[in-house]
């Protein structure tokens, strides 16, 4: 038997050690770039690197071939150090066609490695990319270390023994590119070989062709003189433990399943497919043996309403969506709020307004989360800061929802949802249980008061099926205690204030916020998926001697109790956000501080450098 090492021998070329590398793979949306990126990420993580990814793809499933609109990219940073972002400038860029080259070249560092499939730069390809001349010949690529590889021809040659048609052979190109990239960075091919076996188990000829293409790419690097050396990125020093790679939506789903287990609940998800939230529905629907029921509703409204119905029945009820869907769910969320039932509403934010940029990231739903319902309808809001953080956020959200009997909103975003990073598996035994009590007898003599309140202002969660506790809930204002319909003016004021107070009390229950860095000078306040970029930027500035501190908000409603006191210590406040300044407006309103904004609304995450520049610009 031929071993993997025989087939993919270690390089004889000199190898240079690097602390970290940022690579982007770009091609047509049908070229399999996402698959290539995922494989590179997994094998890097498995070899002990810290990794962070940024998949970037068009909303169309198959945008017109070869056009700039159809370019799909996958960026990954793998590092020997702890990292928090998928990287700013690219060390290497792989381009499968001219459109991918012109739309991505601007991010490649000067003298970075550019690998192109030179077979796809024919006149027709240039025309599709709306190019007058070939960037390979007109000086466009002069500043880079360009390696032109005839990938199409080489792949066809490599897979010839399988007898595949040219069309199918050409689809193996991404595995050729993968082989080459894996060779260049000394990546382990074994996990990918396993993946090929599993993925194409029913199509052995395709599996064989992909293996041949992978091997051809590897050998091409080793044999030709195009590449003088390879690179090695040693393992990072991560905390001891068992790790796996995890994406944000997957981590959310697993966090929800874990929260259901911790609270001894069955899980119900009412959801309507929407980018970029659908993967939570997909993931949860795979795990029915955890007592998970998923309901793909007829629309967003039915999705949230079914969740309220399930919450009334005593399930851990969830609805998931993105901005446009959350807009539709507003009335149902308001009902959940006035019914004072625990549930979780997840908004995986994307570029807006309206349909906006479905596959791009943005943080522009914060105000909708805060105020996007009729009447006085505050809800606790928690935001995840990274893919793996989604796991903890899901559990914390359910803890608060059940403690206070209130729907909790989780904000994620497209960047976190599709991004991946290593996740240290939690010690399951150490996870704190979530205690939930359902009353079994009247709470006021012989009478049951469905809106009697405990010290958290929470009402009892009495379930249908319980004798003597029959009660009616509804969207009309209700009398405190009895829950009967009430138009009494004083009662209405009391109920509005009480429901708001309940959200405020959440602040007593969550950890105070901590400052990273300096406690004077400039304060950076961030929330959600910009954590990595802000954290890295602040660390960079501190290393340069700038006085700057950083707080990252996990709870957006209520704000942590100590935030006001922290803000007072600083001369200026900078709020970087992927929106027009929504958190900044809330901060200014609540703390009367002249916070400055750093706002990017391009459908893309922050580069670290953009925040470094922002900090330097306002710091004295």
Footprint on this chain of another protein (rule: CB under 8 A): 42, 45-48, 191, 235, 238-245, 254, 257-258, 261, 266, 268, 270, 287-293, 295, 297-299, 301-303, 305-315, 317, 331-332, 335, 339, 425-426, 428, 464-476, 484-485
Identify which of residues 49 and 579 has a Cβ nearer to another protein in the complex. 49
378's CB contacts (< 8 A; 6+ apart) are 337, 370, 499, 500, 503, 557
Terminal CA-to-CA distance of the chain, rounded, Å?
67
576 contacts 606 by C-beta, under 8 angstroms: yes
Identify which of residues 312 and 451 has a Cβ nearer to another protein in the complex. 312
Least separation in angstroms between CB 421 and another protein: 14
Least separation in angstroms between CB 425 and another protein: 5
Least separation in angstroms between CB 317 and another protein: 7
Strands 90-95 and 522-527, by their bridges, are unpaired
Three-state DSSP class for residue 217: helix
Identify which of residues 15 and 486 has a Cβ nearer to another protein in the complex. 486
Give the number of C-alpha atoms closer than 13 A to the C-alpha of residue 442, restricted to the C-beta side: 8
Identify which of residues 178 and 335 has a Cβ nearer to another protein in the complex. 335
Identify which of residues 166 and 470 has a Cβ nearer to another protein in the complex. 470
Identify which of residues 10 and 464 has a Cβ nearer to another protein in the complex. 464
Least separation in angstroms between CB 347 and another protein: 19
Identify which of residues 228 and 428 has a Cβ nearer to another protein in the complex. 428
CA distance 3 to 91: 32
Residue from 147, 148, 156, 200 nearest 176 by CA = 156
Least separation in angstroms between CB 185 and another protein: 17
Q: Interhelix angle for 389-404 vs 248-262, to 10°?
A: 40
CA distance 487 to 551: 44
Least separation in angstroms between CB 284 and another protein: 11
Least separation in angstroms between CB 26 and another protein: 25
Three-state DSSP class for residue 477: coil
303 contacts 297 by C-beta, under 8 angstroms: yes
Least separation in angstroms between CB 55 and another protein: 18
Identify which of residues 80 and 537 has a Cβ nearer to another protein in the complex. 80
Indicate the burial class of 475 (C-beta count within 10 angstroms; 0-12, 13-18, 19 or more): middle
DSSP-H helix ranges across 294-386: 300-313, 323-339, 366-371
Q: DSSP state, 481?
A: B
């Amino acid at each position: 038997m031929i071993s993997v090492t025989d087939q993919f021998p270690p390089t004889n070329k000199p190898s240079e050690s690097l602390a970290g590398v940022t690579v982007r793979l770009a091609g047509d949306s049908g070229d399999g770039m996402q698959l290539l990126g995922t494989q590179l990420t997994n094998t890097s993580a498995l070899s002990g690197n810290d990794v962070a990814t940024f998949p970037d793809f068009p909303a169309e499933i198959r945008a017109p071939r070869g056009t700039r609109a159809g370019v799909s990219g996958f960026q990954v940073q793998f590092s020997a150090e702890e990292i928090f972002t998928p990287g700013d400038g690219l060390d290497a860029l792989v381009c499968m066609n001219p459109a991918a080259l012109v739309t991505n070249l601007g991010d490649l560092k000067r003298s970075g490695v550019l690998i192109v499939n030179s077979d796809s730069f024919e006149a027709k390809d240039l025309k599709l990319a709306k190019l007058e001349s070939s960037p390979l010949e007109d000086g466009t690529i002069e500043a880079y270390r360009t390696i032109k590889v005839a990938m199409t021809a080489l792949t066809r040659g490599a897979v010839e023994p399988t007898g595949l048609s040219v069309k199918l052979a050409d689809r193996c190109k991404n595995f050729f590119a993968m082989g080459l990239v894996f060779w260049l960075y000394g990546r382990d091919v074994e996990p990918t070989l396993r993946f090929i076996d599993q993925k194409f188990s029913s199509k052995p000829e395709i599996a064989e062709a992909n293996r041949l293409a992978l091997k051809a790419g590897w050998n091409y690097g080793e044999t030709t003189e195009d590449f003088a050396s390879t690179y090695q990125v040693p393992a990072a020093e991560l905390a001891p433990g068992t790790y796996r790679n995890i994406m944000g939506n997957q981590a959310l789903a697993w966090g929800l399943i874990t929260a259901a287990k911790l609270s001894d609940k069955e899980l119900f998800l009412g959801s309507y497919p929407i980018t970029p939230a659908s993967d939570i529905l997909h993931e949860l629907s795979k795990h029915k043996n955890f007592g998970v029921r998923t309901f793909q509703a007829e629309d967003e409204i039915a999705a949230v309403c079914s969740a309220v119905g399930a919450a009334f029945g005593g399930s851990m009820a969830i609805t998931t969506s993105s901005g446009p869907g959350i807009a539709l769910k507003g009335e149902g969320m308001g009902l959940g709020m006035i019914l004072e039932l625990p549930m979780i509403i997840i908004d995986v934010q994307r570029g807006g307004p309206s349909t906006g940029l479905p596959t791009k990231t943005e943080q522009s739903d914060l105000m909708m989360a805060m105020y996007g319902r009729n009447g006085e309808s505050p809800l606790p809001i928690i935001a995840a800061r990274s893919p793996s953080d989604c796991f903890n956020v899901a559990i914390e959200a359910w803890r608060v929802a059940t403690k206070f009997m209130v729907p909790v909103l989780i904000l994620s975003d497209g960047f976190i949802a599709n991004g991946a990073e290593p996740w240290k598996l939690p010690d399951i035994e150490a996870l704190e249980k979530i205690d939930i009590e359902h009353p079994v007898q009247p709470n006021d003599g012989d009478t049951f008061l469905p809106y009697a309140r405990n010290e958290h202002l929470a009402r009892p969660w009495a379930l249908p099926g319980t004798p003597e506790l029959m009660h009616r809930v509804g969207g009309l204002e209700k009398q405190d205690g009895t829950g009967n319909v009430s138009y009494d003016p004083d009662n209405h004021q009391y109920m509005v204030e009480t429901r708001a107070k309940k959200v405020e009390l959440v602040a007593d229950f969550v950890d105070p916020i901590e400052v990273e860095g300096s406690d004077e000078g400039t304060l950076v306040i961030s929330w959600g998926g910009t954590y990595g970029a802000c954290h890295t930027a602040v660390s960079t500035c501190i290393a340069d001697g700038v006085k700057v501190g950083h707080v990252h908000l996990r709870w957006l409603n209520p704000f942590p109790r100590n935030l006001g006191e922290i803000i007072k210590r600083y001369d200026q406040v900078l709020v970087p956000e992927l929106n027009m300044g929504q958190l900044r407006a809330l901060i200014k309103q609540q703390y009367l501080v002249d916070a400055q904004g750093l706002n990017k609304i391009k459908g893309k995450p922050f580069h670290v450098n953009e925040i470094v520049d922002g900090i330097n610009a306002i710091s004295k």
